[in-house]
Amino acid sequence: MAVLLLGKAFQNLISRPADHPARSLTTPLLRRPGDADFQVIREIAWRSWASAYGAFLPEEDRSRFFAQYYTKDGHRRALDSRRTLFLLAEDDGGPMAFLLATEDAGRVHLHRLYADPRRQRSGAGQLLWNELVRWTRARGATRIAFEVASDGVSGPRFYRKQRCRPVDESVMPVGRVPIRVTRYVFDVSREARGR
């Protein structure tokens, strides 16, 4: 019976598309991106936004936002900054997720943590988050702050799982659409004490 179940599980695994997270046989690795990674990072963000916000944010407005905030010049500035944590997670199936955060005067701000929707639930987001917490501690900062679209599903769920606290909500225009965003904080020193 056990052999039959194992055989069915293996058949289920190999019948999945090659880029399905369950098909990956390696642990995601983190690396600092280079100039050549601009387009793949932008594509991960674009697919993530379409999946998470597509129901309430039209493509035209996402395009305007990306034209302003996902530029090659901005990518280079992030790569060149000493106060920036910029990481790309990948495995044998290719790039999966990325993170961009900055530290200034002991404060860490998470700007972006996006996973390709085709590769979500592969552990890459958690690996990036864990590295952000480690980096924050190493820089002597005690808190990570960031904003997430309130009406999204995957982002708020992920950050609640990390025990981040919502502190307030505001409205941010994205193109012509007012988007409600929740500001979260994560207290690194509290986390280090075991909460």
What pLDDT digit, counting tens, does each position of 27-79 carry? 899 999 999 999 999 999 999 999 999 989 999 999 999 999 999 999 999 99
Across the chain, the runs of DSSP E, i.e. the strands, are 29-31, 84-91, 94-104, 107-115, 143-149, 165-174, 177-187
Pairing of strands 143-149, 177-187: antiparallel
Give the CATH number, domain containing residue 83. 3.40.630.30
In a domain, 37, yes or no: yes
C-alpha 80/C-alpha 181 separation (Å) is 29
In a domain, 2, yes or no: no
In a domain, 14, yes or no: no
What are the pLDDT digits (tens) for 122-136? 899 999 999 999 999
* Nearest of 95, 97, 96, 101 to residue 78 by alpha carbon: 101
pTM: predicted TM-score of the whole model, two decimal places: 0.83
In a domain, 44, yes or no: yes
Contact yes or no for 137/170 (Cβ under 8 A): no
How many independent structural domains does the chain possess?
1
